[in-house]
Amino acid sequence: MAEESNLPQVQEANVLRCIKCGHCEVFCPSQALILDLRPDEKVALPDGVGDISTEDIGFYLKKRRSVRHFTKEPVPREKVLEILDIARYAASGTNGQPVQWLVVHDPERVRKIAGLTIEWMKTLVNTSHPMSGYVPSLISAWENGNDIICRDAPHLLFAHIPEENPIASVDAIIALTHFDITAPAFGVGTCWAGFVAAAATSYEPLQKELGFPAGRKSAYAILFGHPLYKIYGIPRRKPLEVMWQ
């Protein structure tokens, strides 16, 4: 700067290029930078906090399981918010952060959504839809009292995104994955709700039930609750296949 008393600042021509990702701030070793966005949220990172050994992170991720049997004990809203607060730090294209959340916390509403998903499946029977030959067995299971859709989960989480954003669906999957891998640390089990997610993309009665804000749509959904069973081992997987170039 021309005068030593002046503080460094971004040149006016470059201000609009900032996407507020925070890289400049968090990589500053002296922590001298403060991003002019929610300055009250600046958090110091003490030495060693968050460090995880390669062994611990390996076992933590390898033992992750889709949970399809839940207790009836609800997950407190405060705990759900803690997990979502971590998930909001997920990466997104150009740091757009387009993902918002709908938490269906009432088990009765989860059950209703499962029923609407079955209604959607009934519209696929004897059509050219790829699931046409598959859905009759699911419908039959539901009619026999087996919740094959939501697995009697107490809660359901939707990530919703702007309808016109071409990359937001990927951002939503990244954010949901953050929720998925964070939840077990809080004693919460998850299962990706593919049937519900598929119905939510096209079945108007379900869309009305969910009531997303105008201009937004469901990206995907996850079931969650307290797991009924404990994990005692690591599941088998196909051998690793890698190409090098």
Phi then psi for residue 219, to 5 deg, are -100, -45
Under the banding of pLDDT at 50, 70 and 90, the label for residue 33 is confident
pLDDT at residue number 2: 64
For residue 45 the two structure tokens come to 């990172």
- Sequence letter at residue 209: E
Query: Above 90 in pLDDT, residue 49?
Result: no
Under the banding of pLDDT at 50, 70 and 90, the label for residue 1 is low
- For residues 214-239, give the mean pLDDT: 96
- Dmax (CA) for the chain in angstroms is 80
What is d(CA 196, CA 166) in angstroms, rounded to the nearest whole number? 22
Between the alpha carbon of residue 201 and those of residues 50, 63, 130, 138, 207, the distances in Å are 37, 31, 15, 19, 8
What is d(CA 49, CA 134) in angstroms, rounded to the nearest whole number? 48
Per 3-state DSSP, the chain is made up of helix, strand and coil in percentages (nearest 5) of 40, 10, 50
Report pLDDT digits (tens) over 139-188. Answer: 999 999 999 999 999 999 999 999 999 999 999 999 999 999 999 999 99
- Cα 141-144-147 angle, rounded to 5 deg: 55
What is d(CA 48, CA 95) in angstroms, rounded to the nearest whole number? 26
For residue 213 the two structure tokens come to 């804000």
Least confident span in 23-37, 182-196, 224-238: 23-37
Between the alpha carbon of residue 91 and those of residues 19, 165, 216, 228, the distances in Å are 13, 16, 20, 32
Mean pLDDT, the chain, whole residue set: 93
pLDDT at residue number 21: 84
- Give the CA count within 13 Å in the CB-facing half-sphere of 19: 9
Least confident span in 49-53, 61-65, 104-108, 147-151: 49-53
What is d(CA 141, CA 16) in angstroms, rounded to the nearest whole number? 56
pLDDT at residue number 19: 84
Query: What value does the CA radius of gyration of the chain take, rounded to a whole number of Å?
Result: 22
